[in-house]
Amino acid sequence: MGSRDDAAHLLRELPSVHELAAALDAPHALAVTAARLAIEEQRTALLERGPAADGDLTRRAGELLERLEQPSLRRVINATGVIIHTNLGRAPLAEAAQEALAAAARGYSNLELDLASGERGSRHSHVEALLCELTGAEAALVVNNGAAAVLLAVAAIAGPRRDVVVSRGQLVEIGGGFRIPEVVAQSGARLVEVGTTNRTRLRDYQRAVERAGPELGAILRVHQSNFRAMGFVEEVGVESLCGLGVPVIDDVGSGVMLDTPALADEPSISASVAAGSALVCCSGDKLLGGPQAGIVVGRMEAVAVARRHPLARAVRIDKLSLATLEATLRLYRDPARARREIPVLAMLDADETELAAKAQRLRELIGPEDAEVVRAVAKVGGGALPLIELDGPAVALKGSASAEGIARALRRAEPPVIARIHDGRVLLDPRTLSDEEVEPAAAAARAALA
């Protein structure tokens, strides 16, 4: 009974919210929130564990206050080895793009102003010429993400109550429940499936075109971004589809603009444009290495129809993303510079010597007794190149605590470090660490192991 009586006494002794809030150095509303959380937390602990849960309430309220004052969206260090990590914001921006972002955020800009005439301009004009130069397209527009680009393209080209032909093997779902059949439905068009899950031939498309007649809106070709069908499979190339004489919308996924062996398994934008696609859609924040954006390039008349569609305003890109996209695209004018300065491309191209040196430095900063260099496999991520395994060195932590506990402690660091667990060990992969991040990652690891 004594323990229960002691717990009841401690519960009665809990201060009021306003009394505890007065002891905190913070704006009143924030101090009240922290005090309320601390008191509720302490009350629950006393009811569950009794007097053993008694603690310094003012200190705990201060900790909660510090947490409340932190922004929710924070910078983290990606040590997972997943280059385009959707949960971590996908592609990190090149330095030139970061500078463009800061400049656009400082004040006003000519977002929709033609400086020469003083008349209203188009936000698309800031990147349209660049996109046409880099892809060979006749026209271009940009929206807020890749999914919006596909939705707008189908809605504009097919229109309501017309047929959109899609191979059954391309009726895919990507992250977040984005399903191609539902996209077509939202556009108002009618989905016409052709072929089978594993094999679709040109003749399947030809029959669908013949049956639809004037009801045909477009053929939609969808890249299987985050998986691959292997074995007894067949699909029709975009060149053959464009030869059928009907508009082709090609969703190429990740936005490849460089001809490089590392990206050979991903369809390039320029190849689809050259094949004669009416519209080609892709994301800006995957292999292209820019901000979240949806890119639409293609024939002049098709882009003009998409630009006039009511959805175009609903999904338009904002000025900050537009500034960073323009800066990223400018880097592609010099492919060597793009590979060097766009982080996603640099991580893909990182050689063994560079990675080994970074891994060794990380191990030494953590302490040789607490870390060792091992072999590991990094991934591209972001629904791109799912079959590619990027072999290289990684640093495994040797702590006596559980891997989950160490990973949790790393996430509590400032800045948080996001690692991966493989075979029961915490790994820090140097491929996704910048040179400047090695030291703070090592400091977080030392603290987590302690």
Task: Give the predicted TM-score (pTM) of the model.
Answer: 0.90
CA distances from 353 to 203, 316, 393, 402 (A): 50, 43, 10, 31
Among 11-25, 80-94, 358-372, the minimum mean pLDDT is found in 11-25
> What's the gap between Cα 232 and its chain centre?
32
Provide the residue type at 210 as one letter: E
Tell me whether the omega of the peptide bond preceding residue 415 falls within 30 degrees of 0, making it cis: yes
Would you state the structure tokens that stand for residue 436, as one six-digit string? 């400047």
The Cα–Cα gap between 34 and 38 comes to 6
> What pLDDT band is residue 3 in, cutting at 50, 70 and 90?
low
Rounded CA-CA distance 239/132 in Å is 20
What are the two backbone dihedrals, phi and then psi, of residue 75, each rounded to the nearest 5 degrees? -70, 140
CATH top-level class of 77-86+344-449: alpha beta
Nearest to 93 by CA among 435, 333, 429, 434: 434
Please say if the pLDDT value at position 119 is more than 90: yes
Residues 6+ apart with CB under 8 A from 21: 28, 31, 32, 34, 35, 61
End-to-end CA distance of the chain: 39
Whole-number pLDDT of residue 53: 59
Residues 6+ apart with CB under 8 A from 146: 251, 253, 281, 282, 283, 284, 286, 293, 294, 295
| Mean pLDDT across 90-97 | 97
Confidence of residue 105 (pLDDT cuts 50, 70, 90): very high
How large a percentage of the chain has pLDDT more than 70? 97
Query: According to CATH, where is 3.40.640.10 located in the chain?
Result: 95-341
- pLDDT for the residue 384: 77
Look over the chain and give the mean of its residue pLDDT values, rounded to a whole number.
92
Q: State the average pLDDT over residues 413-418.
A: 96
Query: What are the φ and ψ backbone dihedral angles of 288, each rounded to 5 degrees?
Result: -70, -30
> Is the confidence at residue 175, as pLDDT, over 70?
no
Q: Which two tokens stand for residue 417?
A: 């470090």
| CATH architecture group of domain 95-341 | 3-Layer(aba) Sandwich (3.40)
Q: Convert the pLDDT of each residue in 184-225 to its tens digit.
A: 999 999 999 999 999 999 999 999 999 988 889 999 999 987
pLDDT of the residue at 1: 44
- Least confident piece of the model among 108-117, 160-169, 317-326, 361-370: 160-169
Name residues whose C-beta falls within 8 Å of residue 37's C-beta, 6 or more positions apart in sequence. 61, 64
User: For position 7, what pLDDT does the model report?
Assistant: 66
Sort strands 294-298 and 139-143 into parallel, antiparallel or unpaired.
antiparallel
Contact predicate 131/140, CB 8 Å = yes
Contact residues for 404 (Cβ-Cβ < 8 A; gap 6+): 421
pLDDT score for 5:
64
What confidence category does residue 388 fall into, taking pLDDT thresholds of 50, 70 and 90?
Answer: confident
Q: What share of the chain is helix, strand, coil (3-state, %, to 5)?
A: 50, 20, 35
pLDDT tens digits along 304-361: 999 999 999 999 999 999 999 999 999 999 999 999 999 999 999 999 999 999 999 9
- Cβ contact 329:127 at 8 Å: yes
How does pLDDT run across 13-58, given as a tens digit for each residue?
A: 888 999 999 999 999 999 999 999 999 988 888 887 777 656 788 8
Q: Supply the pLDDT for residue 54.
A: 63
- C-alpha 200/C-alpha 335 separation (Å) is 35
State the span(s) of the chain assigned CATH 3.90.1150.180: 77-86+344-449
Banded pLDDT at 427 (limits 50, 70, 90): very high
